């Protein structure tokens, strides 16, 4: 069982930045694929970014060049740096862990981009 706790959401103006952090439990974090997903009101949950155990990252087209995913295996964290935020980035952001064929989700953190 892996527990995930997100932090760092909030209200930001268009063009601003936020950094989300996901802290994971367990001793095998370095083996996990970590990801960030988001769900806006009335929409399906969608992929934002993932990072594999060997550090390869993947991004949704809508966030490429603006968002960056990092992992720190010593701290068991996976962060999402979000720059040049737009109102359409407003959503609940969820951390996801893929571990040994199982998927685990965090509770979500709200990001609101508004002036």
For 59-111, the pLDDT digits (tens) are: 999 999 999 999 999 999 999 999 999 999 999 999 999 988 899 999 999 99
69 burial via Cβ count (<10 Å: 0-12, 13-18, 19+):
buried
* 8 A C-beta contact, residue 44 and residue 108: no
For 5-49, the pLDDT digits (tens) are: 999 999 999 999 999 999 999 888 998 999 999 999 999 999 999
Q: What is the structure's pLDDT at 49?
A: 98
Tally of CB atoms within 10 A around 60: 15
* 8 A C-beta contact, residue 6 and residue 19: no
55 pLDDT above the threshold of 90: yes
């Amino acid at each position: 069982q892996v527990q995930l706790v997100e932090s760092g959401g909030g209200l930001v103006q268009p063009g601003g930045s936020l950094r989300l952090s996901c802290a994971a439990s367990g001793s095998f974090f370095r083996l996990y694929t970590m990801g960030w997903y988001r769900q806006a009101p009335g929409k399906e949950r969608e992929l934002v970014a993932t990072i594999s155990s060997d550090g390869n990252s993947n991004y949704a087209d809508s966030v490429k060049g603006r968002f960056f995913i990092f992992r720190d295996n010593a701290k068991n964290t996976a962060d999402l740096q979000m720059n040049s935020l737009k109102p359409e980035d407003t959503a609940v952001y969820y951390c996801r862990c893929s571990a040994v064929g199982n998927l685990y989700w965090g509770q979500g953190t709200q990001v609101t981009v508004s002036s």
